[in-house]
Amino acid sequence: MIQIENLGKNYGAFQVLKNCTTQVLKGEVVVVCGPSGSGKSTLIKCVNGLEPFQDGNIHVDGTSVGEKKTDLPKLRSKIGMVFQNYELFPHISILENIGLAQKKVLNRSAEEADARSMELLKRVGLSEQAEKYPAQLSGGQQQRVAIARALAMDPIAMLFDEPTSALDPEMINEVLDVMVELASDGMTMMVVTHEMGFAKKVADRVVFMDEGHILEDLPKTEFFKSPKDQRTKEFLSRILTH
Amino acid sequence: MGDFDFDVIITAIPFLLSGLKVTLILTVTAIIGGVIGGTLLALARLSSFKPLSYLAGGYVNFLRSMPLILVIFWFYFLVPLIVGRPIGGFYSVLIAFVMFESAYYCEIIRAGIQSVSKGQAMAGKALGLTYAQSMQFVVLPQAFHNMVPVLLTQGIVLFQDTSLVYVVGVHDFLVSADIIANRDNRLIEMYMAVAVVYFLMCTMGSLAVRILQKRLAT
């Protein structure tokens, strides 16, 4: 579904991504972790072309992301993305947040869009909040709306960029629960996160990054039991001791 | 002040109102034209297509470094040369104001667009919206919401600046009063009346800005 081949990206002289190769198969859940500044957020933003890259290429569902001729808006409409800071649109209601792209990109009628939005709000447990504005919701609720907004486009894959990093601890689980449910429904997911509990529960593979390199790309059990690189071991011991 | 004559002002009201109408038409048209022009200029300035960005930047910086009165003169003398026939003082100042205010509004609107976090445009893009759609439905509504008070304040300045049209003989509010003042030799009465009207209108404008600010802040 997502093939990343020898991806390289630099900001001027600084290399953020170096020769990264990995893939996410259909129905697979891949967790990407690593210390901050390791390039994992940049990597996931390259997948739907939000970040341009210089070397290598990415294919999503057979479409080359790096190609100049690629219709990026069309490609992005098929890939859901959830951000660390939710990025709901503060000037419109929850219902309109979920409906906007359905109407403008997928050309659904207002009735169709509203019906689909309500269905998804119900799924994330927020039917009551449809008429409210984002600022009236808690962080965890906002992030669940953001997931519903992405799902409303009927995506073929979902990208999560540290979806729980901005949340208060007591709200993390309500978001993770939604993600676990998605995973068990067979959604193809690429998730940048520090939530190793989530990785252990639903990931098929775990990718570990440091300083722009992909250091590990292993099936979940192997990753936690016998990581190869010293830095992975250090990272895991730091993150799992608490 | 013993012979301050209110009747002079009262009998002049119809004539003054026709002048005030010109002033208001100029102000409102220049605000609308300026906001539209300013938005386009701001989008051009923020464009990743460098030539467009530089062109818009050059225009804005050039006009912002010119005195308004000079711009009014230019258009008064230049526009007839370009279109090949006289277009009259009113239309030349109208064009001058729209062009001039566009430059100022551009900078306000550019700041407004930049006040919207980059993540918002990114979220729009991630949903498959095109650049234009994400501007129209996500970024600009938030930018204008943040900018309303500043835009109105600029409108008040503009309202006062329209009095400069006297240099090309357009009969705005101030010129109308001036005509009566000189005809009847009632300078004090007329200039006082003008001052009071400008004062009241600007105060009302500022009040509206403050109320809006309060309402937008919540």
Which of B48, B116, B127, B140 is the mutation pick for testing A, counting most A CBs within 10 A? Answer: B127
Radius of gyration of chain A (CA): 18
Closest C-alpha to A96, from A122, A61, A71, A121:
A121
Q: Is residue B1 part of a domain?
A: no
Place of tokens 């649109």: A89
Contact B93, B75 (CB under 8 A): yes
pTM comes to: 0.85
Nearest chain B residue to A78, by CA = B128
Q: Is residue B55 part of a domain?
A: yes
Give CA–CA dist B71/B103, Å, rounded.
12
DSSP string over B83-95: HSS--HHHHHHHH
Q: What is the pLDDT of residues B20-36, one digit of tens each?
A: 999 999 999 999 999 99
Q: Is residue B23 part of a domain?
A: yes
Q: Is residue B116 part of a domain?
A: yes
The contact set of B with A (CB < 8 A) is 117, 119-120, 122-130, 133, 137-138, 141-142, 145
- CATH number of the domain that B116 lies in? 1.10.3720.10
pLDDT, greater one: B170 or B45: B45
Confidence class of residue B217 from pLDDT cuts 50, 70 and 90? Answer: low
Q: Is residue B197 part of a domain?
A: yes
Q: Is residue B136 part of a domain?
A: yes
User: 3-class DSSP state for residue A225?
Assistant: helix
Amino acid found at A227: P
Examine the predicted complex and report whether its ipTM is higher than 0.85: yes
Residues of chain A with pLDDT under 70: 241-242
Number of domains present in the structure of chain B: 1
**A153 → closest Cβ in B117, B127, B130:** B127
User: Angle A93-A95-A98 (CA atoms, 0-180°, nearest 5)?
Assistant: 110
Give CA–CA dist B159/B20, Å, rounded.
11
Confidence class of residue B202 from pLDDT cuts 50, 70 and 90? Answer: very high
Q: Is residue B25 part of a domain?
A: yes
Give CA–CA dist B106/B116, Å, rounded.
16
Give CA–CA dist B160/A191, Å, rounded.
57
Domain range for residue B113?
Answer: 6-217
Indicate yes or no: CB of B122 within 8 angstroms of CB of A77: no
**B138 → closest Cβ in A81, A83, A89:** A89
Q: Name, in order, each residue with C-beta under 8 angstroms of B136's C-beta and a sequence gap of 6 or more.
A: none
Q: What is the pLDDT of residues B93-132, one digit of tens each?
A: 999 999 999 999 999 999 999 999 999 999 999 999 999 9
- Terminal CA-to-CA distance of chain A, rounded, Å? 35
Confidence class of residue B7 from pLDDT cuts 50, 70 and 90? Answer: confident
Indicate yes or no: CB of B126 within 8 angstroms of CB of A50: yes
Q: What is the pLDDT of residues B121-171, one digit of tens each?
A: 999 999 999 999 999 999 999 999 888 888 888 999 999 999 998 888 888
Confidence class of residue B2 from pLDDT cuts 50, 70 and 90? Answer: low
Give CA–CA dist B140/B154, Å, rounded.
19
- For A147, the token pair is 């997931």
**Where does chain A have alpha helices with state H?**
40-47, 72-77, 94-104, 110-123, 139-151, 169-184, 196-202, 220-225, 230-240
